[in-house]
């Protein structure tokens, strides 16, 4: 009996280990992509909370309006931003679906909670932040504008909504991190994810 035959006899492959390994790899990729996208969104919102908005608050209303119009214009036209903004929910939901389908209920619940948190982020964005961005855009060029009352909405409502977006993204990221830990524990020895 050759060494290879002895090795196969002593350590037979686990049933379904090759297929299981490939499925776990896809789940691992989805979880990694979800964590990356959610982390990027949390970081973007956090940067606004701790630097952009406090910095703009020190400027006059005309400068504030001009800066926010420019920021909104750049973000609205950014393909990478849109990809991450939408992708954070898509990959988290896909990973949750796969977890439930594979019978990994605990992992699926964490991912579902993360997806729901991010859905709340989207609701805040669509219901509060974007309408205020649109009001600011309606000012047109801030130079000749005389009514800057929308700036007070930014300093109050927009900033508060953004803080909640940050907290929700961080909560979602925590759920994804927990799912990653559960995935690591569930991955068969020798399978890479």
CA 13 and chain centroid, separation = 38
Dihedral, CA of residue 66, residue 123, residue 28 and residue 96, to nearest 10:
-170
Q: Which residues contact 24 (CB under 8 A, 6 or more apart)?
A: 183, 186, 187, 188, 191, 193
Which residue matches tokens 């979602």?
A: 172
Question: Is 42 in contact with 173 (CB distance < 8 Å)?
Answer: yes
Angle at Cα 89 formed by Cα 84 and Cα 91, nearest 5°? 85
d(CA 63, CA 54): 13
Instruction: Give me the pLDDT at residue 150, please.
Output: 86
pTM above 0.85, yes or no: no
| Non-local CB neighbours of 56 within 8 Å, separated by 6+ positions | 63, 64, 67, 68
For the segment 127-176, what is each residue's pLDDT rounded down to a tens digit?
999 999 999 998 888 767 677 888 988 999 999 999 999 999 999 999 99
Q: To the nearest 5 percent, what fractions of the chain are helix, strand and coil?
A: 85, 0, 15
pLDDT in tens, 28-76: 999 999 999 999 999 999 999 999 999 999 999 999 999 999 999 999 9
Whole-angstrom Cα distance, residue 5 to residue 46?
58
Higher pLDDT, residue 55 or 186: 55
Mean pLDDT of 120-132: 97
User: 61-117, pLDDT tens digit by residue?
Assistant: 999 999 999 999 999 999 999 999 999 999 999 999 999 999 999 999 999 999 999
| Most distant CA atoms of the chain, gap in Å | 92
């Amino acid at each position: 009996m050759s060494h290879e035959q002895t090795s196969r006899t002593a350590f037979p492959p686990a049933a379904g280990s090759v297929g299981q390994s490939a499925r776990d790899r896809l789940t691992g990729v989805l979880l990694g992509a979800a964590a990356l996208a959610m982390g990027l969104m949390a970081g973007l919102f956090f940067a606004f909370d701790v630097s952009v908005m406090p910095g703009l608050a020190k400027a006059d209303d005309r400068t504030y309006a001009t800066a926010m119009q420019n920021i909104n214009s750049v973000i609205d036209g950014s393909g990478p931003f849109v990809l991450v903004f939408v992708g954070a929910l898509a990959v988290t939901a896909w990973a949750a679906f796969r977890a439930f389908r594979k019978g990994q209920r605990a992992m699926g619940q964490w991912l579902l909670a993360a997806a729901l948190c991010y859905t709340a982020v989207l609701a805040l964005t669509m219901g509060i932040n974007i309408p205020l961005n649109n009001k600011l855009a309606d000012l047109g060029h801030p130079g000749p504008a005389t009514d800057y009352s929308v700036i007070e909405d930014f300093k109050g409502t927009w900033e508060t909504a953004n803080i909640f977006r940050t907290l929700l993204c961080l909560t979602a990221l925590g759920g994804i991190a927990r799912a990653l830990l559960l995935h690591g524990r569930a991955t068969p020895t020798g399978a890479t994810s």
